[in-house]
Amino acid sequence: MTAGLLPASLAGASGHVLPAPISRIELVGHGWGPGIGMGQWGDFGYAVRYHFGYERILNHFYGGTRPGSLASLHDPVNPTISVVMLENEDLANNLGYDPVVTSAAGFSVVSSSGPPGPPPASSSTTTSSPPVSTTTSSTSTTTTAPSLPATSSTSGAGTTASSVAAAPERLVPAAGATTPSSSVSSTSVPTSTLTPTASTAAGGLQPIGGVVNPTPTPAGRRYRIPAGEAVDFRLQPNGTWNAYVAGSCSAALHHPATARPLATNLVDPVASPKSASPSAPLRSLLTLCRHDGVDQRLRGSIEAYDRQGYERTINLVPLESYLEGVVPGEVSASWGTDGTAAGAPQHEHWGFQALEAQAVAARSYEEASAASGGWAGYADICDNTYCQAYVGAAYETRLSDLAVTDTTGQVRVRGPGAGVIATTNYSASTGGYTDGAQFPAVPDLGDACVVPGQPLECNPVHTWVVTVSATELTAALPRLGKLVALGVTSRNDKGAFGGRALSVALVGTDRRVVESGDAVASALGLRSDWFAVAKVTRAAGPTSTPTEPGSTTTLPTTTVPIPTLPGGTLPTTTIPTTTVPTTTVPTTTVPIPTLPGGTSGSTTTLPAGTSPTATAGSSGSERRAGG
């Protein structure tokens, strides 16, 4: 392994002397995302620059897999799948918002079959004491909810997987939290199970069906909703739903007092459009009125689902229609027009092969996710970059739809016989070499510049440089005190600097720890775990000699003593002597335009005519299966 080194100024045990704290550190790195499987920039580059067909691209990135089909596995080619709409949740607290649905063409609502699930233990109408974590106002009540599945340990846009699998939703309240219990709430705040009372009904609405164990509305009973009107579904403590009708999305979300009762005691009700045709025009589809202000058109139906006392919004949609909302959410559909058409398959430009590779990877990923238990066992997959970026119907294009249609039923499989569907993780940019965690590590020649000399055709995060201040370091690594040294101690031997950081030694004024490269990248908000220290500036004195790239430096073995801390003294770790190879470091900071798959962590406003930007933990994609 090639190790990044700690500064030579760290003294031995006898001196107990540490260098001045770091005031600023400059890091250089490659790629965006964990780099497992296909890189989307590499996919694009191999198609346009090297004229790879989509199967050749997939063969390159997913070693050990082969082309397969849902039909050969005796699976339905276009099954209806369930997509939990995390964009309609308060992700910071994992609280669900009321599902609010409308359609420009009118729609219907029907109660699902079967009885509601049992209410949470604390959801009765009488309690010995109020829940300590519940905050009540005259119009709303919020409660502490279960934690989110683990986020990607390496931030980056568009992430279909990480090196650490996500945990399922945790339904046991955190320490000091309570199980859901309170009153019917306004749709302007996230809610959990609700106990309706006249004094706390949302927006002054009188509750309907406010008994603990009412008779559920018979399954199959259908309610017709006129065009333009919106239905707000509100979960009750007994596990059924009450439905209210308002004049519009805005009225339902912001003026709940104007809504009128529609139905009571519905069991996980489903809203369905007038037309279920996969080619139905946008105006005839359902619109999910999200609580972040985005009205999202979705193919298929929308279910209000009781997740053990927590509201969830689920899109029930045919697989191929779902993929038509994933491909343009993960990569730019305009890629399909890039490159020449000479010699290209299907009489399209070579860039179209990148869209087809994305379609097959996304299909395989979803089907493998569903087969492994899906999202916490109650949905096949989620809609954002914890899984795959699914943006619904509004961004469908001829080319992205064609990429899905031309590859209908195609997946990647591994293993003997017909095989099993492979979990085809992917990320925005491998940085030039894939990770090798689930598929063999391979060079990614397509990752850098698709069309050399054309800035807009070059990957802006193939190489990146970031500067982290002392304030940011302390906030990211609070238990260390002030950081005095950071050094990569082991790498994976794949690519520049010796490859991705596997372990990193961090020395602070309070303590020293050794962490994984992935954990350090996540803490510092780096785009990937493929990074090196370029320059260090200390609180006193001039900028130090670069500790990794740009020089060949041999540093002595250094043992760093750790002061006694509450709870005992941490063991002393020896950082081995090593030589860092000479590496050329870019001297300019590369501007970062919108990436395929986007950036993570927040909902992005999508201007007309642009490819949507993904939202959580990614850079084009690398999501976690089962999370």
Residue extents of the structural domains in the chain = 22-30+464-579, 38-71+331-384+397-456+598-621, 93-121+135-150+173-320
User: Looking at residues 437-444, what average pLDDT do you find?
Assistant: 97
* Residue-level pLDDT at 93: 86
Nearest Cα residue to 305 out of 249, 233, 385, 398: 233
Mean pLDDT of 216-220: 73
pLDDT of res. 216: 67
Whether the Cβ atoms of residue 100 and residue 441 lie closer than 8 Å to each other = no
Q: What is the pTM of this model?
A: 0.75
pLDDT in tens, 225-281: 999 999 999 999 999 999 999 999 999 999 988 899 999 999 999 999 999 999 999
Cα separation, 612 vs 615, whole angstroms: 9
Chain position carrying tokens 């097959």: 360
Place of tokens 């950082």: 575
pLDDT band at 454 (very low <50, low <70, confident <90, very high): confident
State the amino acid at position 164 in one-letter form.
V
Q: How confident is the model at residue 330 (pLDDT cuts 50, 70, 90)?
A: very high
* Per-residue pLDDT reduced to its tens digit, 502-526: 999 999 999 999 999 999 999 999 9
Least-confidence region, from 14-23, 54-63, 327-336: 14-23
Confidence class for position 160, pLDDT limits 50, 70, 90: low
Q: What is the pLDDT of residue 569?
A: 31
pLDDT category at 540 given cuts 50, 70, 90 is confident
CB atoms within 10 A of CB 356: 28
Place of tokens 């004491």: 129
Crossing angle between the packed helical segments 54-61 and 352-371, to the nearest 10 degrees: 50
Average pLDDT of the segment spanning 447-473: 90
The string over 168-188, giving b where at least 16 C-beta atoms fall within 10 Å of a residue's C-beta and e elsewhere, is bbebebeeebbbbbbbbbbbb
Structure tokens at 520: 């350090």
Residue 443 has pLDDT above 90, yes or no: yes
pLDDT at 202 over 90: no
What is the pLDDT, as a whole number, of residue 215? 60
Determine the pLDDT at residue 274.
Answer: 93
Residue with more model confidence, 98 or 164: 98
> Is residue 334 very low, low, confident or very high in pLDDT (cuts 50, 70, 90)?
very high
Whole-angstrom distance, CA of residue 219 vs CA of residue 458: 55
pLDDT band at 217 (very low <50, low <70, confident <90, very high): confident
Cα separation, 527 vs 367, whole angstroms: 28
- Answer yes or no: are the C-beta atoms of 68 and 363 closer than 8 Å: no
Q: What pLDDT does residue 305 have? A: 97
> How would you label 547-570 residue by residue, b for 16+ Cβ within 10 Å and e otherwise?
bbbbeeeebeebebbbeeeeeeee
Average pLDDT over residues 559-583: 32
The answer on pLDDT for 578 being more than 60 is no
Q: What gap in Å lies between CA 395 and CA 328, rounded to an integer?
A: 6
Give the mean model confidence (pLDDT) for residues 310-335.
97
Going by their DSSP bridges, the two strands 286-289 and 270-273 should be labelled as unpaired
Which residue is it, tokens 């990320």? 427
Q: Which of 330, 449, 462, 419 is nearest to 383 (CA)?
A: 330
Residues 6+ away with beta carbon under 8 Å from 620: 32, 33, 39, 40, 41, 156, 157, 158, 330, 331, 426, 427, 428, 429, 595, 596, 597, 598, 614
Asked whether the predicted pLDDT for residue 360 surpasses 90, the reply is yes
Distance CA 187, CA 156 (A): 31
Burial 97-109 (b: 16+ CB within 10 A, else e): bbbbbbbebebbb
Q: What's the pLDDT at 219?
A: 73
Report which of 284, 389, 451 is spatially closest to residue 613, judged by C-alpha positions.
Answer: 389
